[in-house]
A and B are shown apart, each in its own frame.
Chain A
Amino acid sequence: MKVINSSLDELHKLLIHKEISSVELTKIFLKHIKQKEPDLKAFISVTENVALEQAAATDKKLAANEKIGILEGIPVALKDNMCTKGIGTTCGSRILENFIPPYDATVTELLKGSGAVLAGKLNMDEFAMGSSTENSGFFTTANPWDLTRVPGGSSGGSASSVAAREVPYSLGSDTGGSIRQPAAFCGVVGLKPTYGLVSRYGLVAFASSLDQIGPLTKTVSDNATVLNAIAGHDPKDSTSIPFIKPNYTQFLENNVKGLRIGVPREFFGEGLDPAVEKIILQAIQIYEKMGAIIEECSLPHMEYAMPTYYIIAPAECSSNLARYDGVSYGYRAEAEDMIEMYKKTRAEGFGQEVKRRIMLGTYALSSGYYDAYYLKAQKVRTLIKEDFDNVFTRFDALISPTAPTVAYKMGEKSDPLAMYMGDVYTIPVNLAGLPAISIPAGFVEGMPVGMQLISKHFNEGLLYRAAYAFEQSTDHHKTIPALLGEVD
């Protein structure tokens, strides 16, 4: 229990003080994964050999008294939409079930370079389309706090595995809330960085203008440590932005005095579970007590964020997913001719939600509809960005619930629209390309509630500071799913 519940700093110290070897450490996590996986199903693949090989390499360095990095020799797992050379990357889809990338995503390369130990690839909604992992082409991941409930999505495996201490940290991707909502549902810390902060190279695209990779961790401090390793300009990603990268852990300061925090009224309206609202209002009071300046504010165009997102994201997805045609890689259906092969491959290879979004997007881009849908959505997107720009002239950060409810039961939300509404507080952030973090804020009937903090572009440091101060004055992050009680 001690090891698997340790922070990255603590694990690092165990290694450098030679209290434990990297191989031993890795084996503890692998054993724990084996124990928990039958219940959780967070992993699509566990890469035991790769992990032990990297761990042995770290041990060699340690034996030679070489210096090791903060992530070196410590296990990590990646959402299965990040390419890993020689290791299957399915994107949660049957269509890529047997796809083995010949190259590493930039984040994979960076983690490898940091000496991270890759423990496996994590379950997700197919092509990151969904909010519960129920759209995974393989199986649904369970929430460690209640195995009958969903872990959220689409990075459900990433959140569930960290919450269950199967790995100390993981990476997820967030297109409309896919890191923050599962982090909230599973009671972990999830950051969706500024668009362009982390390279998308090698991240299997869902909606290119919205996708962003970020860390899921047990604590805010761990989160900053991981962001240090993966943030940075990448010449392979034209939308990644050159900037001077700070050391994100330097912002971890238990002080929010004078911090101006806005409470956008549009994020506390109809559809928000009163019990969740109560927890967030308590969190706001905690900030007030710590000396932050709290004030209500308004983002008038937020009601249009959902329809805007469900035009732009499917439009981009319809084009991004066109390549899965059975011609040169991935699943191919047997057919008499080429057109039939295309049709059967895609009909059999994709799940319902993916097909729904491809159709939505294809329609929105079609000649005669483009102006009414796609173009208009882009204009509204600009208005949404401007709303945020306006409030950020007065506020350092905004606070809101991450999701309107706690994790729901598997199969509870069969209506796609009901599922979509669960992302109502996270989607505007992606449309504006802003950074936002979800941190544990309390519990409703034993299920974690996530609080979202949003800030200006490249203001991850401020988010960490605000999140860290809250974390230090509460104990929510120390509460552990009951399921872990049995672990030694």
Chain B
Amino acid sequence: MTFRDKYEIVCGVETHVEMLTKTKIFCGCTTEFGGEQNTHVCPVCLGLPGVLPVLNKEVVNLAIKAGLALNCEIADFSKFDRKNYYYPDLPKNYQTSQYDLPICKGGALEISVNGQKKTIGITRAHMEEDAGKLVHSGETISTSVSSGVDYNRTGVPLLEIVSEPDMRSIDEVLAYLEELIQIIDYAGISDCKMEQGSIRFDINVSLRPIGSEQFGIRSETKNLNSFNSVRRCMEYEIERQAELLDEGGQVVQETRTWDEGKGITLSLRSKEEAHDYRYFPEPDLLPLVIDKDWIEKIRETLPELPSAKRERLQSLGLSEYDAKVIVSWKPMANFFDKALDNFADAKILANWVTGDLSGLLNAKNSSFEESPITPQQLVGLLKLIQKGEISGKIAKSVIEEMFDTGKDAEVIVKEKGLAQISDEGELEKIITGVISANAKSVADYQAGKESALGFLVGQVMKATKGQANPGLVNKILRAKLSE
């Protein structure tokens, strides 16, 4: 790869997030995904003659919340503007958006790549309406004989979050996106369903010679909808730009589009062909004035955010890695926190949540939200181990049974007689038998061969089908052997 030693990557991202409101941004239609074509529509979102927008206050609440979660300043005065361009999925041929006075400005979030922490600036975040969807009669647009428009998505509220060009590698970009989406998810701004297009990215990439202070000429690739596409698109763009620069050429400032199938980016329009959006203030809406009380009210509704959660888990003794894994998935973190309410040892809990339970869920392609084992039930299992009633090894089979049947650990242990043998009298009897049956090992041990003890413990466990309390077995064996 030519660029690695020669060029530095400079990248910024615009993220479009569909906000989690019941109704659209300027009308009362539902935002529900799917639905028969053109059923979630009304005169307002269809842009019929004479209709007027009415701002959904819940959209503002969520935008403020997102701004606070991203450490932004919330503008006490912002406004909506019209972005004018012609496209059949845009019924009014303008999009009501925010131009020079967005609701959120100047935020930041922290990423961590290979243990290195870095702050990525958020330039702004603003509210706007989504467009509809073109539906083509053929496989592709070029083979279609006709196209229709589904306006169900028209007017779904979007938050566009614009980062500073602070990222210097693909890993940093992915870390930024991951952190951003986690924050959006935790704050309840969006359902973050990327497969339904709830989140889309525009990636700005440029290269510059290492050591250069000046930014290179950038390309912007629009409408990526998965981390995988972002990574592949960046790999392609970096290589394409590096080759151009290597040959003494110049990158053209332009908008590009990502062809997922071919794995390449294609020029959509150059700077010269760029739309003149002719922004001007939306005359049908009043400027948005947000007072301190409003902001504080929203601040009170902010839940614990991912960074704070990770810090808390680490303070409870979890490794940075475990904390990251648990927090990276909100349902898992919720499950963990619920269990933590009744179980003090966070480390043990983390092992079982990220280990056995995750494994079982993964194998069934299920998630923590649908886990057949409740947090309370998992705590029940862990408490049996803690009290010495079952061994860790037995517990692993118990959890599988719990997963399949939904029964409590105690019930399973009782039904199957899996309780650990901690009765010293009973154990002594078994151990006496093992000692008399294994004279050679006994002699070895007494001759100073410590490893012989392990063999004898193994024999006891075998005789008890693994149910003997290992600590007690050890203690009694040692005592007997030194008699």
Which A residues contact B (CB, under 8 angstroms)?
A: 81-83, 89, 91, 96, 99, 101-103, 105, 200-205, 207-209, 235-239, 315-316, 318-319, 322-323, 325, 327-329, 338, 342, 362, 365-367, 370, 374
Contacts of B93 in A (CB 8 A): 322-323, 325
Given contacts A83-B50, A327-B91, 4 further A-B contacts (CB under 8 A): A101-B49, A200-B52, A208-B283, A238-B284
Q: Which of A103, A201, A207, A328 has the most CB of B within 10 A?
A: A328
Query: What separation, in Å, do the CA atoms of A365 and B277 have in the docked complex?
Result: 9
Whether A322 and B286, one on each chain, are in contact in the complex, defined by CB atoms closer than 8 angstroms, is no
Give the Cβ gap from A416 to chain B, nearest Cβ, in Å: 23
**Contact A105:B50 (CB < 8 A) given known A323-B92, A325-B86, A367-B276:** yes
Query: What separation, in Å, do the CA atoms of A366 and B276 have in the docked complex?
Result: 7
**Contact A328:B91 (CB < 8 A) given known A204-B49, A236-B52:** yes
Interface of chain B residues 85 through 109 with chain A (CB within 8 A): 86, 88, 91-94
Whether A238 and B48, one on each chain, are in contact in the complex, defined by CB atoms closer than 8 angstroms, is no
Whether A204 and B54, one on each chain, are in contact in the complex, defined by CB atoms closer than 8 angstroms, is no
Give the Cβ gap from A298 to chain B, nearest Cβ, in Å: 29
Let me know if B271 is at the binding interface, CB within 8 A.
no
Query: What separation, in Å, do the CA atoms of A235 and B44 have in the docked complex?
Result: 13
Let me know if B43 is at the binding interface, CB within 8 A.
yes
Contacts of B53 in A (CB 8 A): 238
Contacts of A328 in B (CB 8 A): 46, 91, 149
Contact with A along B41-64 (1 / 0, CB 8 A): 001001111111111000000000
Contacts of B46 in A (CB 8 A): 328
Let me know if B316 is at the binding interface, CB within 8 A.
no
Give the Cβ gap from A143 to chain B, nearest Cβ, in Å: 28
Let me know if B200 is at the binding interface, CB within 8 A.
no
Whether A319 and B278, one on each chain, are in contact in the complex, defined by CB atoms closer than 8 angstroms, is yes
Whether A96 and B49, one on each chain, are in contact in the complex, defined by CB atoms closer than 8 angstroms, is yes
Contacts of B50 in A (CB 8 A): 81-83, 89, 101, 105, 200-205
Query: What separation, in Å, do the CA atoms of A82 and B52 have in the docked complex?
Result: 13
Q: What residue in chain B is nearest A362 (Cβ atoms)?
A: B278
Give the Cβ gap from A239 to chain B, nearest Cβ, in Å: 7
Let me know if B463 is at the binding interface, CB within 8 A.
no
Q: Which of A101, A202, A323 has the most CB of B within 10 A?
A: A323
Give the Cβ gap from A199 to chain B, nearest Cβ, in Å: 9
Whether A238 and B149, one on each chain, are in contact in the complex, defined by CB atoms closer than 8 angstroms, is no
Contacts of A365 in B (CB 8 A): 84, 278-280
Contacts of B55 in A (CB 8 A): 238
From B51, B54, B88, B91, contact of A202 by CB (8 A) = B51
Whether A103 and B280, one on each chain, are in contact in the complex, defined by CB atoms closer than 8 angstroms, is no
Q: Which of B86, B283, B286 has the most CB of A within 10 A?
A: B283
Whether B286 and A323, one on each chain, are in contact in the complex, defined by CB atoms closer than 8 angstroms, is no
Which B residues contact A (CB, under 8 angstroms)?
A: 43, 46-55, 82, 84, 86, 88, 91-94, 149, 276, 278-280, 283-286
**Contact A237:B52 (CB < 8 A) given known A315-B280, A327-B88:** yes
From A82, A316, A323, contact of B283 by CB (8 A) = A316
Interface of A is mostly: loop
Query: What separation, in Å, do the CA atoms of A237 and B278 have in the docked complex?
Result: 24
Give the Cβ gap from A294 to chain B, nearest Cβ, in Å: 36
Query: What separation, in Å, do the CA atoms of A367 and B279 have in the docked complex?
Result: 9
Query: What separation, in Å, do the CA atoms of A342 and B87 have in the docked complex?
Result: 10
Whether B48 and A102, one on each chain, are in contact in the complex, defined by CB atoms closer than 8 angstroms, is yes
Whether B51 and A238, one on each chain, are in contact in the complex, defined by CB atoms closer than 8 angstroms, is no
From B54, B94, B285, contact of A322 by CB (8 A) = B94
For the complex of A and B, the 10 pairs showing the least CB-CB separation, nearest first, are A322-B93, A208-B283, A365-B278, A209-B283, A204-B49, A202-B50, A204-B50, A323-B92, A367-B276, A83-B50
Contacts of B94 in A (CB 8 A): 319, 322
A-B contact list, 7 entries, CB within 8 Å: A207-B283, A239-B52, A316-B283, A318-B278, A319-B280, A322-B92, A370-B278
Contacts of A203 in B (CB 8 A): 50
Contacts of A325 in B (CB 8 A): 86, 88, 93
Q: What residue in chain A is nearest B93 (Cβ atoms)?
A: A322
Give the Cβ gap from B50 to chain A, nearest Cβ, in Å: 4
Contacts of A238 in B (CB 8 A): 52-55, 284-286
Query: What separation, in Å, do the CA atoms of A101 and B42 have in the docked complex?
Result: 12
Contacts of A322 in B (CB 8 A): 84, 86, 92-94
Query: What separation, in Å, do the CA atoms of A424 and B439 have in the docked complex?
Result: 120
Whether A89 and B280, one on each chain, are in contact in the complex, defined by CB atoms closer than 8 angstroms, is no
Q: Which of A105, A315, A365 has the most CB of B within 10 A?
A: A365
Contacts of A236 in B (CB 8 A): 52, 54
Contacts of A374 in B (CB 8 A): 280
Q: Which of B50, B82, B86, B285 has the most CB of A within 10 A?
A: B50
Query: What separation, in Å, do the CA atoms of A315 and B52 have in the docked complex?
Result: 18
Give the Cβ gap from B124 to chain A, nearest Cβ, in Å: 20
Contacts of A323 in B (CB 8 A): 47, 49, 91-93
Whether B48 and A329, one on each chain, are in contact in the complex, defined by CB atoms closer than 8 angstroms, is yes
Whether A103 and B43, one on each chain, are in contact in the complex, defined by CB atoms closer than 8 angstroms, is yes
**Contact A366:B278 (CB < 8 A) given known A101-B50, A200-B52, A322-B93:** yes
Whether A338 and B54, one on each chain, are in contact in the complex, defined by CB atoms closer than 8 angstroms, is no
Query: What separation, in Å, do the CA atoms of A203 and B55 have in the docked complex?
Result: 19
Whether A235 and B54, one on each chain, are in contact in the complex, defined by CB atoms closer than 8 angstroms, is yes
Contacts of B43 in A (CB 8 A): 101-103
Q: Which of B47, B48, B88 has the most CB of A within 10 A?
A: B48
Contacts of B88 in A (CB 8 A): 325, 327, 338
Q: What residue in chain B is nearest A203 (Cβ atoms)?
A: B50
Whether A319 and B84, one on each chain, are in contact in the complex, defined by CB atoms closer than 8 angstroms, is yes
Query: What separation, in Å, do the CA atoms of A97 and B91 have in the docked complex?
Result: 19
Query: What separation, in Å, do the CA atoms of A319 and B82 have in the docked complex?
Result: 8
Query: What separation, in Å, do the CA atoms of A110 and B443 have in the docked complex?
Result: 106
Query: What separation, in Å, do the CA atoms of A2 and B49 have in the docked complex?
Result: 39
Query: What separation, in Å, do the CA atoms of A96 and B48 have in the docked complex?
Result: 11
Give the Cβ gap from B411 to chain A, nearest Cβ, in Å: 57
Whether A370 and B280, one on each chain, are in contact in the complex, defined by CB atoms closer than 8 angstroms, is yes
Contacts of B286 in A (CB 8 A): 238-239
Whether B51 and A201, one on each chain, are in contact in the complex, defined by CB atoms closer than 8 angstroms, is yes
Contacts of B285 in A (CB 8 A): 238-239
Contacts of A105 in B (CB 8 A): 50
Q: What residue in chain A is nearest B46 (Cβ atoms)?
A: A328
Q: What residue in chain B is nearest A82 (Cβ atoms)?
A: B50
Contacts of A102 in B (CB 8 A): 43, 48
Whether B149 and A327, one on each chain, are in contact in the complex, defined by CB atoms closer than 8 angstroms, is yes
**Contact A101:B84 (CB < 8 A) given known A366-B278, A367-B276:** no
From B47, B49, B276, contact of A83 by CB (8 A) = B49
Give the Cβ gap from B120 to chain A, nearest Cβ, in Å: 30
Query: What separation, in Å, do the CA atoms of A41 and B423 have in the docked complex?
Result: 108
Give the Cβ gap from A362 to chain B, nearest Cβ, in Å: 7
Query: What separation, in Å, do the CA atoms of A103 and B41 have in the docked complex?
Result: 13
Q: What residue in chain B is nearest A83 (Cβ atoms)?
A: B50
Q: What residue in chain A is nearest B280 (Cβ atoms)?
A: A365
Give the Cβ gap from B267 to chain A, nearest Cβ, in Å: 19
Query: What separation, in Å, do the CA atoms of A131 and B149 have in the docked complex?
Result: 38
Give the Cβ gap from A329 to chain B, nearest Cβ, in Å: 7
Q: What residue in chain B is nearest A211 (Cβ atoms)?
A: B283
Contacts of B92 in A (CB 8 A): 322-323
Query: What separation, in Å, do the CA atoms of A235 and B93 have in the docked complex?
Result: 24
Q: What residue in chain B is nearest A368 (Cβ atoms)?
A: B276
Whether B86 and A89, one on each chain, are in contact in the complex, defined by CB atoms closer than 8 angstroms, is no
Give the Cβ gap from B143 to chain A, nearest Cβ, in Å: 15
